[in-house]
Amino acid sequence: MQLQLSLAVADRLHETLLVRGAPLDAHEAACLLTASAECPPALSHRILDALVAEDRRFCWTESSGDGASTLASGGPAAAGDVEEPCEGACEARDRRICLCHWQAADPDLLEVPFVALDLETTGARTGTSKITEIGAVRIEGLREVATFHTLVNPMRSIPRMITEITGITQEMVADAPRIEQVIPELLEFLRGAVVVAHNAGFDVGFLNYELRRLKGRELGDGAIDTLPLARALAPGLVNYKLATVAESLGAPVAACHRALADAQAAGHVFVTLMSRLREQGVTRLSEARAFMVSSARAATEKLALTRELPLAPGAYRFVDRDGRVIYVGHGERLQEQVRSHFTGMPSNARKMRQAVRLVERIEWEETHTPLEAILREHQLILEHRPSCNQHGVRPETYAYLKVRQAGPGLCLYVSSRTPRTLVTGDPGSKGGSSHQVLGPFRGRSRLISALDLLQRCYPIRDCPRQPQARPCDRGRTGGCLAPCLGDPAIRRRHDRLVRQILSWLGGRTDGDLVEPARRVEELAAELAEQKRYEEVQKLRQSWEDLLSVRRSYSALADASKLRFAALWPQESNGDGPTVRLNLIWDGRLCSCVSLRRENLRQDVDAALTGCIDEGQRPGEAGRVTGHEAATRRARNCHVAVWQHEVDPLLAVRRWLKEAAGPDAVIITASGPVRAHSDEWRDRLVAEALRMLDS
């Protein structure tokens, strides 16, 4: 019987076995796979035979008369091996399904062949990016015995940035073999060995993609990742990049983004760390694996905490033994999202690993829609300030770029102090105020670095000086136009330059402004000519910070202008079908309502009118309404929001651009909404009716 089992269903069985820690009866496992309380015994075995044949994680085990279990079929494959299901698997009725690693042999580390592997590619995404170089080192008896190296023709262009990193050019790979020519020789080199790599998910992921495409199979399970191993056995390093770890462990070959050198460096790291494990009495392969994934295994034991979570959108909280909320998240399908934290430990961020280690209880609340779940998550983060969340925990530290009319000309400066108001005119202009606010931005140091670079590139003031008879050092050397001298023409020229810089930050270009990129290149050339290479490197980093600030500002400006409606069909709860409507106005969720046929037009009209009326009311302290947003647009001022609004605004934008699922229907508003409110309302009503009728 040909049977295709979805990865999600097989994963559920895998997690169930991990939680129970013991094999499952075939009938019970088949009922779990088919989501049926009853499954005929013959069909149970046929389903599971197909699963064991296709999924290397599972195998059969037979129960002997004395209660012991023996391996019936399947088993862990080495890197180059292919599993074959045993004949007659369907006949035995006393077998149970289990995980292969429970039944695997446990050799001494000195008896196991390993291959340290490294790939260079045209990019970071499997499928769209391709392999350009493969390097491998075979290790036997924990000693290097052979190497494998080849360039690979990716059959596509190599981006300039990749060439700068790796040194691999288009000319170098033009006559190299294609990946389908390389794979057979590589598999022979890997035969019978356990793959080792630093950040193994990257290298193994690329190789498995090509193996699936060309051979219809993958490497055997169980590649060893030296990244978590190094974190455990070489603590205290500034980072755990391969180059850093290899240097700290005295590797004879430096990691340099070339495949063979990096494979040799990874091999040295692996052998050194294995030697440290052996000194601690860890001599068997299973013991080494247990040590390397101890945090992951501890996490899988906590999968039982997720059993009651629904497959519905919502927000969740990780609670530690003292009752403190340590992490807040959201998910479109809560159970799957939360389980991913416990089954993907090696790739999790440090704070996420900490949260998984400390969690003792999971609390959750369902929401009607994924969008409501996202915004509920940010409300909970502000309420609980969880220690393991990365963003949104302390928005009061986000920094604004402020423009102040303080004496002689406009002055740019960075401040995390909350402004009294976000609605200001152009500082220094007629009818304007003395301040203008942009942002805020995450990362105060990044913003300071960007501002320092702007003040190096352009002759604008960087001090709060009052008018004096003499300029500062920057003014005397031409680094500043010195508006402090009081010359009205110079001051106007200076203030115009500041406004041009702000326009560039906002994504606009002015014909009179020399582009910052050109100024940075000129400064870098001057420093390089003086052999001040460290300063050149710092200048490049400041340029990256400036571009990052510009992108962040563009995203915030885009988010604060979003106006759209999202509709989802909802399951009937006994009183007929409904459609859930989320109205986003100026980036903020202003209305959530469940629509029913009998009051459809009235409810849509009330929700839409409420948003429009909200936009006409003056803003209250601590928030921006549509009135303030409209005032800013009318005055052509720059975008500023309250600090606690940044993360929800960006989350809504990210959801709309990247995560809006096929279940949601998005209707965007454009133009003066009050003038077109009837048209927009009719579109919403028509779409809601279509959903109710479907």
What letters, b where the CB count within 10 A reaches 16 and e where it falls short, cover 70-83? ebbbbbbbbbbbeb
CB 538 within 8 A of CB 424: no
3-state secondary structure 125-154: CECCECEEEEEEEEEECCEEEEEEEEECEC
HSE-up of 45 (CA within 13 Å, CB side)? 13
- Cα(500)–Cα(514) distance, integer angstroms: 10
Task: Please give the helix or strand (H or E) that residue 24 lies within, else none.
Answer: strand 24-25
Give catalytic residue positions: 257
For 646, what's the count of Cα atoms within 13 Å in the CB-facing half-sphere? 25
For residue 420, what are its two tokens?
A: 């009294």
d(CA 609, CA 591): 10
Q: Which two tokens stand for residue 36?
A: 């049926």
Strand extents, DSSP E, 256-348: 314-319, 325-331
Give the separation between CA 275 and CA 291, rounded to whole angstroms: 13
Q: What is the Cα–Cα distance from 354 to 327, expressed in whole angstroms? A: 10
CA 458, chain centre distance (Å): 36
Host H or E run for residue 590: strand 588-595
Length of the chain: 694
Distance CA 689, CA 267 (A): 63
Distance separating alpha carbons of residues 330 and 272, to the nearest angstrom: 41
* Apex 662 CA angle, 656 and 664, nearest 5: 60
Residues 6+ apart with CB under 8 A from 426: 432, 436, 499, 635, 637
- CA–CA dist 3, 512 (Å, integer): 67
User: What is the distance between the alpha carbons of residues 320 and 271, in angstroms, rounded to a whole number?
Assistant: 37
Listed in sequence order, the residues at least 6 apart from 297 whose beta carbon sits closer than 8 Å to its beta carbon are 290
* CB-based contacts of 251, cutoff 8 Å, min separation 6: 264, 265, 268, 269
Chain-centre distance for alpha carbon 663: 23
Torsion angle in degrees (nearest 10) through CA of 690, 672, 506, 558: -20
Closest CA to 438 of 539, 507, 509: 507
Q: CB–CB of 141/162 below 8 Å?
A: no
Q: Which residues are within 8 A (CB) of 421 and not within 5 positions of it... i.e. 6 or more apart? A: none
**Residue with tokens 């793959």, as numbered in its chain:** 195
